[in-house]
Structure 1
Amino acid sequence: MTADSLTAKDAGPGPDVPKDPGRSPRALARARRRLAAARFWRSYRSHRAGLWGLGGLLVIALVAICAPLLVGSDSQSVTHASGGPLAPPSGDFPLGTDQFGRSVLALLVYGSRVSLTVGLLAAFLCVAIGTVVGIVAGHFRGWFATVLMRVTDWFLVMPTLVLAIALATVMSRSIWTVIIAIGVTTWPTTARLVRAQTLAVESRPYIERARALGGGHLHVMLRHVLPNVMPLVLAQTTLVISNAILTEATLAFLGLSDPTVTSWGGMLQDAREAGAVSAGDWWYLAPPGIAIALVSLAFTMCGRTIESVLNPKLGVAR
């Protein structure tokens, strides 16, 4: 199964869709989407790595959503801390405590909320910018597309982390600053991929037929090009999320995030400032680092599996 089979709206109803002359075009389109989704899931679930990654993400998302029920709503408060400073793991505190006596497990659970939110929103912003730039640069030719791609190349060769640090430094320290800093500095790769796919789509005969029938630029880009690049965008999004989570952790570790919220990168920064590294308080350092690695790995496994499903030529091992 390829990306074209998932989104080819201009093709016939296909062998799996009943050819009922009384069905409207919209009904046929919905039937094709349902069949494409069913075929996609059948192919996806045959990859064990993708299932493990998806299962891990569902568990982490459930923990993040149910954080107040699992660890209490006041577990982040310094005034309500009931443990000793930097106490090792015990029955009451399975992952020990921080320098204020708060449970590291509770902080880890609440930190998943911020890290996942920043990763998802930053990835959405990155993919949205990259998709728009890629489709526009691939659809329009001439000097306008050349200027867009030269700007893309400039962002591509510049160190992403350095640009993100520069933006986070000049802007106010908040979660939205981190999201914007990550989103506006990591879109060039997506733009390049989408532009290449757009050029391939626009070379097909049905694009020429749409233009001959009077379809304008907006019609071609939204009704024909965008549906055909969406599978690529979906696969790219899952890969971008893991990079966004890692970048957020880096910015928080450098003290450029909002100090009033709990995130995994912020926990590492607090552990460094509390002297956990020199004191050997591993229970304060290891959990957030392992959580960042596991979430990034889960998103990467899902992304690689989606790529394998949409493009079987990649030959990703099951």
Structure 2
Amino acid sequence: MSRKTVLAASLGIILAYCVVALLAPVIAPYDPHAITGAPLSPPDREHPLGTNDLAQDIFSRLIWGTRATLLLGFLGATIAVVLGTAVGIISGYYGGTVDEAVMRVIDVAMTIPIFPLLLILTMFFRPGIYVTAVLMGLLGSFQGVRVIRSQVLSLAVADFVTGTRALGARDGYIMGRHILPNILPLAGVKFVFSAQHFMLIGIGLGFLGIGDPSVVDWGQMINRASQNGAIILGLWWWLIPPGLAVTLISLALAWLGYACEDEINPRLRLLRV
């Protein structure tokens, strides 16, 4: 499969998920919390994916769960990439004492595992979905700093940057006009992989039962199905759809990230020819 085909397929899947998330009130036939029939009903014309133990329509909950998953992934990734890119540019551009201080902080921060810390914070404070996404972004920004900084270190001594500085341009202008545009492709790839990572973390929190209880998400659906005998009773329509939805969006983001990596790194294209 060619890189262009992978890129088009991944973008199509992600776009479809985004459309479903935005149009959830229109697409979902029922309110995700409403009792719509008999409990544990198999799929039929009124309930394409049946109902759960609370007689809630599984298809509607699957549609609404797309919103929570994409929100956690994209909002968390945006915060992580913006913060990591800004700190990485400043650290790599100025170097010296600034770079040394930033790197020592990053070295300590990167030893802290994100998921266990996020698990503890959400367990004790029970934040909403937006606060959880912000926490993900803040905790996940440290890894991006090193990646961006390493690229900026080489750009900071490039001829076009040195020449611009010799002409009297200010540091802010150089970083914004000459450094940032060359970093954006790398930041874009980091955004894609961060979004995938944060989506899976959010689903994991929901599966453990410590996510936002007021928000429908796929992790909660899988957790409730497994705890209420979906596997033993053979209720595939309750367990498999959210699992497939998680798998498909994760694969689409992974494919998009790898396709973008080829685009920004010519050596990878040569190795895969």
TM-score (norm 1): 0.80
Residue type matched to 1:171 in 2? F
Gap regions ≥5 residues in structure 2: none
Residue 33 of structure 2 is aligned with which of 56, 72, 77?
Answer: 77
Q: Return the offset for 1:115.
A: 0.8
Equivalence for 1:99: 53
Secondary structure of 2:140's counterpart equals coil
1:39-58 Cα deviation digits (max 9, x unpaired): xxxxxx96211111111111
Matching residue of 2:175:
221
1:189 aligns with 2:157: no
Q: Which residue of 1 aligns with 2:123?
A: 169
> 3-state SS of the aligned residue for 1:157?
coil
| Aligned twin of 2:214 | 260
Distance (Å, rounded) in 1 between the aligned partners of 2:176 and 2:123: 37
Whichever of the two has the greater Rg, that structure is 1
| Change in CA separation of 1:259 and 1:317 when aligned onto 2, cut-off 3 Å | farther
Distance 1:302 1:69 in 2: 28
Alignment of 1:32-111 (within 5 A): 47-72=4-29, 74-78=30-34, 81-111=35-65
Q: Indicate if the aligned counterparts of 1:171 and 1:177 stay in contact, CA closer than 8 A.
A: no
1:292 aligns with 2:246: yes
Unaligned runs of 5+ in 1: 1-44
Residue correspondences, number: 271
SS at match of 1:186: helix
Alpha-carbon deviation of 1:67? 1.6
TM-score, reference length from structure 2: 0.92
Going by fraction, where is helix more abundant, 1 or 2?
2
**Residues 169-208 of structure 1 deviation map (CA, whole Å, 9 limit, x = unaligned):** 3433310222022112212221111001101111211111
Residue number among 139, 159, 177 corresponding to 1:205 in the alignment: 159
Residue number in structure 1 paired with 2:77:
123
Is 2:67 aligned against 1:113?
A: yes
> One-letter code of the match for 1:134?
G
Q: CA deviation at 1:277?
A: 4.0
Q: Decide which of 118, 125, 141 is 2:95's aligned counterpart.
A: 141
Shift of 1:163: 1.9
* Corresponding position: 1:248 with 2:202: yes
Deviation larger for 268-277 or 129-138:
268-277
Supply the RMSD in Å over aligned alpha carbons. 1.9
Query: Conserved in 2, the CA contact under 8 Å of 1:253 and 1:266?
Result: yes
SS at match of 1:203: coil
Structure 1 residues 136 and 254 mapped into 2: Cα distance closer, same or farther (>3 Å)? same
